[in-house]
């Protein structure tokens, strides 16, 4: 079981991801925007083992938040999976360049998302 911070502004997507993650045995903490998500990552003790990040968020984007996590000494070791509707190869390349460990296009398949998470937290 992993501690996961989910940063997603869509209530529908958030509910689906929480259902999948809890069913797979993970503990989920949620935020509706990047600023609250970053604060949550820093406040959790122990730190989360993974962040599931949307890109299109109110205020700070998921790309900016991923970059912030990777530049911070206390959080740079936490893997980030970006899950976004932005499906162009340039978006994926940019997300990975910001420090994401993986990039998946919405809607991901449940089994593929859980497999990717389990690979990164094992």
pLDDT tens digit sequence for 39-98: 999 999 999 999 999 999 999 999 999 999 999 999 999 999 999 999 999 999 999 999
> In the chain, where are the structural domains located?
3-121
Residue 43 has a CB neighbour count (10 Å cut-off) of: 9
Q: Write down the pLDDT at residue 82.
A: 98
CB-based contact 52:69 (threshold 8 Å):
no
Q: Indicate the average pLDDT of the chain.
A: 97
Note the CATH number of domain 3-121.
3.40.50.2300
For the sheet with 3-7, list strands across it.
Answer: 27-31, 3-7, 50-53, 80-84, 102-105
Q: Which two tokens stand for residue 79?
A: 């893997």
CB-based contact 81:104 (threshold 8 Å):
yes
Q: Write down the pLDDT at residue 68.
A: 98
Indicate whether this model's pTM tops 0.95: yes
Q: Write down the pLDDT at residue 43.
A: 97
At 70, which helix (H) or strand (E)? helix 62-71
pLDDT in tens, 7-30: 999 999 999 999 999 999 999 999
Q: Write down the pLDDT at residue 51.
A: 98
For a pLDDT cut of 90, what percent of the chain falls above it?
Answer: 98
Nearest residue to 55 (alpha-carbon basis) of 16, 103, 18, 107: 103
């Amino acid at each position: 079981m992993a501690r996961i911070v989910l940063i997603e502004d869509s209530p529908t997507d958030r509910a689906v991801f929480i259902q999948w993650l809890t069913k797979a045995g993970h503990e989920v903490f949620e935020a509706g925007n990047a600023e609250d998500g970053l604060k949550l990552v820093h406040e959790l003790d122990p730190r989360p083992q993974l962040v599931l990040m949307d890109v299109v968020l109110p205020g700070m984007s998921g790309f900016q938040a991923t970059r912030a996590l990777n530049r911070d000494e206390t959080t740079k070791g936490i893997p980030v999976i970006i899950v976004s509707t932005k499906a162009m190869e340039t978006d994926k390349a940019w997300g990975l360049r910001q420090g994401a460990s993986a990039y998946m296009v919405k809607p991901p398949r449940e089994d593929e998302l859980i497999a990717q998470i389990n690979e990164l937290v094992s």
